[in-house]
Chains A and B, each alone.
Chain A
């Protein structure tokens, strides 16, 4: 491996650029929010703001909303973080950031190995995917700490991820053959077919709504606590004259305590659970016996063909 000079100017400049790549998207998103938020007085609960609307699209006007902009900012930030952590890797870990990167990779690979290893090891390549889901989901939920709207508080974002997972699940279910997959719906008796079809779609719906509901409820509760504390301090200090009457006594610090649970813990927990359910659902979707039977059949057909060609 080419040895890198850690002290060189070039290395430091690239480091600085990567750090800027982490911070600037967030700052840009904050500025956009400040510019685009309509003036209002008091606290209100609303969904994602709509920044731009493009007409002339075939189905409906193309809407660029706050959650899309913020999730792109989060994606660029996570990408910058990854590049920063892996910048200047050496064979033997010397820097803190390399140790952090190795720790993350080891933990995620351990998690994927513990939860997805079935009879055979075909899921080894899923560690980056799981890590990406966890990272983006966690950072999206934490975006509300810098005053941005959490992209995961919008059902469209989490539903997109859930549909992605649903496609992977269906891909593995189809490994046993299309016929076997369709027959599987009529088990144990044909009467259950509608129930089974609903159950099939319940997986992505429940994954999407679980994540979205937890983040949204955290945001709503934070806003309610904030407005309640404002009312309380106005009630108690309202009688005092001048600046003292408007002093936000109870808004100092108290919302932060609740925010630790509702924003930080709940958001990270949901990121972990989303990744966990992804792993369990994908690992549980493979019909091993049918797949083996299908593979054996294919092998036999190939051999027959080869024999025919040889004859």
Chain B
């Protein structure tokens, strides 16, 4: 029973991490838009390339934040959460039996 419970828990942690990383769509679209706009701007005014590029990198890094949050949560779910949940699960099962 313990093995089954831990297996289900690990599977759900992995599933949660995978679902959480759907948040990667947002920054992807946003950064794509930003790069498209920057390309247009450089095409129109090639002399402003250096300024546009530095602003673009800055903006991309900030737009990336939400994706990074999702990544942190996914990493936590995969590497940190099982350790916490496993002990809690085993305690719970012991309480059930005893």
Could you tell me which A residues sit within 8 Å of B by CB distance?
Answer: 45-46, 206, 209-210, 212-214, 216-217, 220, 269-270, 273, 276-277
Given known A269-B57, A273-B58, A276-B58, contact A220–B75 (CB-CB < 8 A): yes
Q: Are B71 and A210 in contact (CB under 8 A)?
A: no
Q: Are B72 and A213 in contact (CB under 8 A)?
A: yes
Contacts of B65 in A (CB 8 A): 206, 209-210, 213
Contacts of A277 in B (CB 8 A): 62
A209 vs B62: C-alpha distance when bound (angstroms):
11
Of A45, A46, A213, A220, which one neighbours B68 at CB under 8 angstroms?
A213
Q: How far is the CB of B8 from chain A (nearest CB, A)?
A: 23
Q: Are A273 and B61 in contact (CB under 8 A)?
A: yes
Q: Are A45 and B69 in contact (CB under 8 A)?
A: no
Contacts of B68 in A (CB 8 A): 209-210, 213-214, 217
Of B58, B61, B72, B79, which one neighbours A209 at CB under 8 angstroms?
B72
User: 6 A–B contact pairs at CB < 8 A?
Assistant: A214-B68, A217-B72, A273-B58, A273-B61, A276-B58, A277-B62
Q: How far is the CB of B2 from chain A (nearest CB, A)?
A: 24
Q: How far is the CB of B56 from chain A (nearest CB, A)?
A: 12
Describe B's contact surface by its main secondary structure. helix
B residues 61-79 near A (Cβ < 8 Å) are 61-62, 64-65, 68-69, 71-72, 75, 79
Which size bracket describes the interface of B in this complex?
Answer: 10 to 19
Contacts of B64 in A (CB 8 A): 210, 214
Contacts of A273 in B (CB 8 A): 58, 61-62
A46 vs B79: C-alpha distance when bound (angstroms):
8
Contacts of A217 in B (CB 8 A): 68, 71-72, 75
Contacts of A210 in B (CB 8 A): 61-62, 64-65, 68
Q: How far is the CB of B13 from chain A (nearest CB, A)?
A: 15
Closest B-chain residue to A211, C-beta based? B68
The winner among A45, A209, A273, A276 for most chain B CB atoms within 10 A is: A273
New A-B contacts (6) at CB < 8 Å, excluding given A210-B62, A269-B61, A273-B58: A209-B65, A210-B64, A210-B65, A216-B72, A220-B75, A276-B58
